[in-house]
Amino acid sequence: MEKSKVYFIKEINADNLIKIYEALGVNLEGKIGVKVSTGEDGAKGYLKADLIGPFVKKLNGTIIECNTAYPGARNNAEEHLKVAEKHGFTSFADVDIMDGQGEFKIPVKNGKHLEYDLVGENFKNYDAIVNLAHGKGHAMGGFGANLKNQSIGIASRNGKAYIHSCGQTADPDKCWTVSYEQKDFIESMAEAAKAVADYLEDNHKPIVYITIMNALSVDCDCDAHQGDPVMADLGIVASLDPVANDQAFLDMVWASTDEGAPKLQARIDRQSGRHITEYAESLGLGSTDYELIEL
């Protein structure tokens, strides 16, 4: 079987983001949704307008997001849009909080934990998707990149609760009080990511995966008190395979000689974060075996 191709550019800038997208050789057409984390109010690591704006404008893309399950400044569409504006996203694109008008169910095939995935109602309005992730640590998932951006990120507020509780409740007020095994949460994220990929494939809607590996904090952009970066920027990776792209990010974190890299590694392993790529591979979402092509 042919290895998945992962493209890599070391220098992070707006031109190279466009260049790595073009290397994928996919011409996205129609209404294009660009899934990015808008960042919690108070966070600082989210992807900035000057870096991603030219790329999103080139695609005539819409920034797509969903509300958070946790209490904060982004758990309803009205307040979420204010944060998106404050963080510069509305300066270069329309922003669609996809679950502002509701949600719909998509099937989870062969899941151990989830029976379905709940995604923002407006997700169905897009003809093509760019999963544009910021690679960094995460308090609950260990790390966040394309798989997390596709699971928790595209899930509605209730859908996030359903994933976080490993399928026990879709109530955001109850999901934080149920008990679950950490590995089950990691697997639930992978199952939701696979559900989104299946939904897009079944509806003949293409998706591409890009992860920008900068501002590498052990905390997620969803953390209002996000810590400073612990290691130097790694670059940008892009692929048509989300498992390969996340695996490339992990491999670069582990291969790094940066003195801060062990801090990010420890955060990822404390939460069994690396399990997501192997489990996603077992679901048929992609491959951990890849060929890295440096541009």
Q: For residue 170, what are the contacts with CB-CB under 8 A and spacing of at least 6?
A: 118, 158, 159, 161, 162
Q: Report phi then psi at 92, rounded to 5.
A: -130, -5
Count of structural domains, the chain: 1
pTM of the complete model: 0.97
pLDDT in tens, 86-132: 999 999 999 999 999 999 999 999 999 999 999 999 999 999 999 99
Tokens at 146, concatenated:
């394309």
Tokens at 117, concatenated:
């995935």
Spell out a b/e string for 137-170, using b for 16 or more CB atoms within 10 Å of the CB, else e: bbebbbbbbbbbbbbbbbbbbbbbbbbbbbbbbb
pLDDT in tens, 8-65: 999 999 999 999 999 999 999 999 999 999 999 988 999 999 999 999 999 999 999 9
Predicted confidence at residue 232, as pLDDT, reads 97
Tokens at 55, concatenated:
């790329």
Helix, strand or coil for residue 44? Answer: coil
Q: For residue 27, what are the contacts with CB-CB under 8 A and spacing of at least 6?
A: none
The span from the CA of 24 to the CA of 194, in Å, is 21
Predicted confidence at residue 71, as pLDDT, reads 76
Pairing outcome for strands 32-35 and 207-213: unpaired
The span from the CA of 252 to the CA of 6, in Å, is 12
| Contact of 208 with 133, CB cutoff 8 Å | no
Tokens at 182, concatenated:
């950490």
Domain of residue 38 covers 4-294
CATH number for 20: 3.40.50
The span from the CA of 35 to the CA of 256, in Å, is 28
| % of the chain residues with pLDDT over 70 | 100
pLDDT in tens, 56-77: 999 999 999 998 887 777 878 8
CA 173 from centre of chain: 23
